[in-house]
Structure 1
Amino acid sequence: MALEIHAIISILVTVVAIASAKLVDFYKFKKLEGSYKALVVIILLIVIAEGIYLSINFDLLTYALETVTSLSAILIFAAFVYLNKLQNAASGISIALSTNIHVGSKIEIENRKGTILKLGLTKTIIEIDEDKKRIWIPNKKFDEVLVSISRKEQKPSTINLENKN
């Protein structure tokens, strides 16, 4: 009986975690293009973790534990393969939470001046002032180089986000 109560509590915690992730995505990241992809990955990880927990406690996947272990190794390998995308996504979330960078802000990065057109999960689109060309900047670039950002109502401010790690 206690095992069933723990399972019900675990499922309720999982539902609350998923609802919380959806609320954070809706209220904090709704303007961040591609944030739904990160949300789907987070929800999948939560559901997989819950499934593993329940299956271990109820001995549902005793024989499949080796398969789960192998899949974990594959996921770790995939994380290394997609490390660049994951770093850009982490930087994109940081940019979305920042109060300094917004769509419409004037920006100077690596001696190129332009206007931010779109903030994405892994890249930011900027229109260069000189020739009106659009360039895609990987979001982790904002963590690596000196960036100057200004808005119409404020004086330019320079932020240096070099190697926060």
Structure 2
Amino acid sequence: MASEIYAIISVVITIGVIISAKIIDHYKFKTLDGSYKALVVIILLVVIAEGVYLSINFDLLTYALETVTSLSAILIFAAFVYLNKLQNAASGISIALSTNIHVGAKIKIENHKGTIFKLGLTKTIIEMDEDKSRVWIPNKKFDEVLVSISSIKAKPSDYDLEKASVDN
């Protein structure tokens, strides 16, 4: 009886975590391109963890323990393979939460000056001042090199209109 109660509590907590992640994504990361992909990965990991917990709790994985162990090893290997992307994604989330870095801000990075055109989960697009070309910068560069960002906020609507005309 106690295991059923714990299972119900676990499912309720899992649903709460998924709803919280969706709310955080919607309100905090709505301007960050690629955040939906990260949300899907987080939800998948939470659902898999819940499935494993329930399976162990009700002895459903007794015969498949080797499979679960193998899958864990594969996930760890995949984490090492995609380490660069994961680091860029973590930096992208940090950038999205920052109040100083936003679309339209003037930036100087590694002797290049420009304006932030678009923020993404793993990369930021800068429009260069000298020739109006666009440069993609991995987000972890913001943690590795000296970056100068102006504190003057440009009107985001100007950049949204330009972005819309470029995308179409």
Residue 153 of structure 1: how far off its partner (Å)? 5.7
Q: After TM superposition, give the deviation of residue 7 of structure 1 in Å.
A: 0.7
Residue identity (%):
82
* Distance (Å, rounded) in 2 between the aligned partners of 1:153 and 1:137: 20
| Alpha-carbon distance in 1 for matches of 2:64, 2:56 | 10
8 A contact 1:104–1:151 mirrored in 2: no
Change (3 A) 1:20 1:151: same
1:101 correspondence with 2:114: no
Structure 1 residue 3: Cα displacement: 1.2
Query: Which residue in the other structure is 2:157 paired with?
Result: none
1:16-31 to structure 2, matched below 5 A, reads: 16-31=16-31
Q: Kindly tell me: are residues 153 and 141 of structure 1, through their superposed partners in 2, closer, same or farther at Cα, counting changes over 3 Å? A: closer
The answer to whether the aligner puts 1:32 opposite 2:48 as a matched pair is no
1: CA distance between counterparts of 2:139 and 2:90?
8
In structure 2, the CA distance between the partners of 1:129 and 1:46, relative to structure 1 (3 Å rule), is same
Alignment of 1:101-140 (within 5 A): 101-140=101-140
Shift of 1:65: 1.1
Correspondence for 2:57: 57
**Cα RMSD (Å) of the superposition?**
1.1
Structure with more of its chain in helix, by fraction:
2
Q: Secondary structure at the match of 1:55?
A: helix
Higher relative contact order (CA 8 A, sep 6+): 2
Unaligned runs of 5+ in 1: 155-165
Calculate the TM-score normalised by the size of structure 1: 0.91
Distance 1:26 1:153, change over 3 A: closer
Q: CA contact under 8 A between 1:32 and 1:121: conserved in structure 2?
A: yes
Give the number of equivalent residue pairs.
154
Runs of 4+ in structure 1 over 2 Å off: 151-154
Long gaps (5+) in structure 2: 155-168
TM (normalized to structure 2)?
0.89
> Which string of whole-angstrom CA distances, capped at 9 and with x for unpartnered residues, describes residues 90-141 of structure 1?
0000000001100000000000000001000000000001011000000000
Structure 1 residue 26: Cα displacement = 0.6
Distance of 1:134 and 1:149 partners within structure 2 = 17
Deviation at 1:150, TM superposition (A): 0.7
